[in-house]
Structure 1
Amino acid sequence: MERETLISKWLDNNLNDEELKAFKKLEDYDDLVKLDRNLKGFKAESFDPAVELESVLSSIRSKKQTSVHWLKPFMKIAAILAICFSLYYYTTTLDTTITTAFAQKTTIELPDNSSVSLNAKSLLIFNKKDWKKERDVELEGEAFFKVSKGSSFNVITKTGTVTVYGTQFNVKQRDTYFEVICYEGIVGVTYNSQLTKLKAGDSFLIIDGKLIVTEKENSATPSWLNNESQFKSLPYSEVLAEFERQYGVSIVAENIDENQLFTGSFSHKNIDIALKSITLPLHIKYSKTNNTITLKRD
C-alpha cells in the first residue's frame, strides 16, 4: 500500500491489522506517534486532519514528481502540519477544570465576570468556547456563586441542577448530601424532575434522599468563606466529614452514634480548638496519632 494512504488512514484511525503492521515499518513512524500521543483524549468538531492531509497530497500528485526522495520529507512535513493544526482546533474546545485539595479554597472568575468560590475538596468544570451560548458549570463538592445578570446560568451536579439568572447562592453536593441556599435573588432547584424556587434566605436540603425542613438563613454569605463551618441540626457524620476535608485528616469514631444531630461550628484555623468545638458539647474524648484522630465516648 502506498505510504501516503497509510498515513491518511492512520490520521483517520482507520487502519486494519495488516495496514497497521505496514505503517509501523515506515521510517518516520516514531516521529508521527510522538505527535499522536499529544492528541489523545481530544475531539475536533470542525477540523479533520485526514481531509487536510488529503488536500495537501492531492496537490502534490497534480505536479510532476522527479524524485521519490524529494516526496518523502515533504509528506512528512505535511502530516506533521496537519496534526499541529488539528491540535490547535482541539485545544479551543477543551473544558476548564478547577479542583481544590484538602484544606484548600479558591476563587475563580468565569468568562462573564461571574465568580465562584470553591470549598475544600471540590471540582468545577466549564467551557469557555460555549459560554455565550450556555452558561453551564458542573460541580462536585461545595461552591458559592455570584452570578452576573444574563442568560440562564446552570449549576449541574450529580444530584440536581440549580438554575438562576443573576444572584448569589451556595451549592453543596456530597455523596448523600445536597444543599442549596439562596442569599440574593431567586434560585430554581431541579431535583427528581421537580422544580423548587428559592428566594433570599430559603434553603433546599436533601440528606440520604430525604427532604429536610430547614430554618431561614440570616447570614449574607456562607460561613465557610470566613473559615468556619456551621451546622444546624445535622447528622454528626456530616460534621466529621467536613472536618476531614478542612484539615486533611482521617477520623475514626469508636462507639459513637454518627446519626445524632449536631448544632454548632468549628474554625478552619486551629485544629485543636476545632476538635474541642465538635467533641466537648457531646462529651466525646479524642486522641491524635500522626494524621489520624480517634474519637471515643467520655
Structure 2
Amino acid sequence: MEREILISKWLDNNLNPEELEAFKLLEDYDDLVKLHSGLQAFKVDDYNTTNELERVLKTIKTTKKQTTHWFKPLMRVAAILAICFGLYYYTTTIDTTITTDVAQKTLVDLPDNSTVNLNAKSYLAFNKSSWNKEREVELEGEGFFKVAKGATFQVKTKTGTVTVYGTQFNVKQRENYFEVICYEGLVGVTFNSQETKLKPGDSFLMINGKIIANEKENSATPSWLNNESTFKSLPYKYVISEFERQYNVNITLKNIDTNELFTGSFTHSNLDLALKSITLPLHLTYSKTNNTITLKRE
C-alpha cells in the first residue's frame, strides 16, 4: 500500500491490523508518531497551511548545507506537518448543517442532548467542536427547540437573536416575518438591539419590520409538530406561503387581497381538506391543474 495512503488512514484512525503493521515499518514512523503527539495539544484560531508550508521550505532552503542527504526526509516531515495542521483547522471550523425540503420535517439532536424539530424548507447550522464553549445555532425557517440546561444557548437568525437557558420555544423566521413563542422557561428575544423577555405563553411577532401584538399562546407545543398549521389574524399571504411549503405546490391567486387577515388552520396530510380549510372561511373557490392550484374570488 502506498505510503501516503497509510499515513492518511493513520491520521483518521482507520488502519486495520495488517495496515498498522505496514505503517510501523515506515522509515520515519517514530518521527510521525512524535509529530502527531505534539499536535494533540495544539490550539489555533486561524492557520494558513499554504503560508506555513512555504515558510518552512524557505527556511530549509536558506539554511541547507552543501550536503543535502537530510533534505528529502525533512521535506516529508514538513508536508506531514502542513497536512496535520490543515486537518486540524478544517475539522475544528467546519459547521454541521441540516436542511429540510418542502413537505419535509426532521428532528435534530444537538451535542448537549438539546433537540430541534425543523419544519419544512428550513436550515440549521452549528459547530460541534466549539459547542462546549459556545452553544449557538443559526436558523433560517422554523424550528421548535427543547434546550438542555446549561450555559447560554443562542439561536441566531437574519432578523433577531433568541437567548435561553434550558427551555422550550418555537422560532419562525421567514421573509419579512419573525416570530418567537415561549412554551417553557424564559426566553430573551433581541431585535434592533433591544431585548424582550418572554415567559410561557408569551410571544414576539414582527411583520415587515413592525412588532405586532399577539394574544397568549395556550398550546403546549406548536401545532405544526402535529402536522397542522395554525394562524391567528395573519395576512393571507403567509398562509399561502406555508401551504406551498407543506404540500410542494404553486398557488395562483385571482381577485384576492393577500393582506386580508386569516384565522384558522389546515392539515398537512390531506390536500383537498386543507384547501377547503383555507378557502371556505374567505368564500373562495379553487381549481387544480397538475402541481398548480388557483384560488379566486368570484
Q: Please give the range of the TM-score, normalised by the shorter of the 2 chains.
A: 0.7 to 0.9
Say which is worse superposed, 265-274 or 81-90, in terms of deviation. 81-90
SS at match of 1:92: helix
**2:83 match:** 84
Q: Post-superposition shift, 1:102?
A: 0.5
Q: Which amino acid aligns with 2:233?
A: S
Q: Post-superposition shift, 1:129?
A: 1.4
User: Which residues in structure 2 correspond to 1:4-15 (within 5 Å)?
Assistant: none
**2:60 match:** 58
Distance in 1 (CA, whole Å) between partners of 2:167 and 2:285 is 43
Ranges in structure 1 where 5+ consecutive residues have no aligned partner: 1-43
**1:221 match:** 221
Question: Alignment identity in percent?
Answer: 65
* Alignment deviations for residues 32-51 of structure 1 (CA, whole Å, 9 cap, x no partner): xxxxxxxxxxxx73544343
Say which is worse superposed, 179-188 or 50-59, in terms of deviation. 50-59
**1:195 match:** 195
- Asked if structure 1 preserves the Cα contact closer than 8 Å seen for 2:167 and 2:186, the reply is yes
Q: Does 1:259 align with 2:262?
A: no
Ranges in structure 2 where 5+ consecutive residues have no aligned partner: 1-43
- Asked if structure 1 preserves the Cα contact closer than 8 Å seen for 2:53 and 2:79, the reply is no
Q: Which amino acid aligns with 2:281?
A: P
Q: Does 1:179 align with 2:182?
A: no
Distance in 2 (CA, whole Å) between partners of 1:187 and 1:148 is 14
- Asked if structure 1 preserves the Cα contact closer than 8 Å seen for 2:203 and 2:214, the reply is yes
Q: Does 1:238 align with 2:238?
A: yes
Change (3 A) 1:58 1:181: same
Change (3 A) 1:48 1:192: closer
Q: Post-superposition shift, 1:215?
A: 1.3
SS at match of 1:259: coil
Q: Post-superposition shift, 1:62?
A: 5.7
- Asked if structure 2 preserves the Cα contact closer than 8 Å seen for 1:163 and 1:187, the reply is yes
Distance in 1 (CA, whole Å) between partners of 2:94 and 2:272 is 43
Distance in 2 (CA, whole Å) between partners of 1:216 and 1:54 is 63
Q: Which amino acid aligns with 1:88?
A: L
**1:130 match:** 130
* Alignment deviations for residues 131-160 of structure 1 (CA, whole Å, 9 cap, x no partner): 122111111110000001111111111111
- Asked if structure 2 preserves the Cα contact closer than 8 Å seen for 1:117 and 1:143, the reply is yes
Change (3 A) 1:209 1:53: closer
- Asked if structure 1 preserves the Cα contact closer than 8 Å seen for 2:135 and 2:154, the reply is yes
- Asked if structure 1 preserves the Cα contact closer than 8 Å seen for 2:56 and 2:78, the reply is no
Report the TM-score when normalising by structure 1. 0.78
Say which is worse superposed, 126-135 or 236-245, in terms of deviation. 126-135
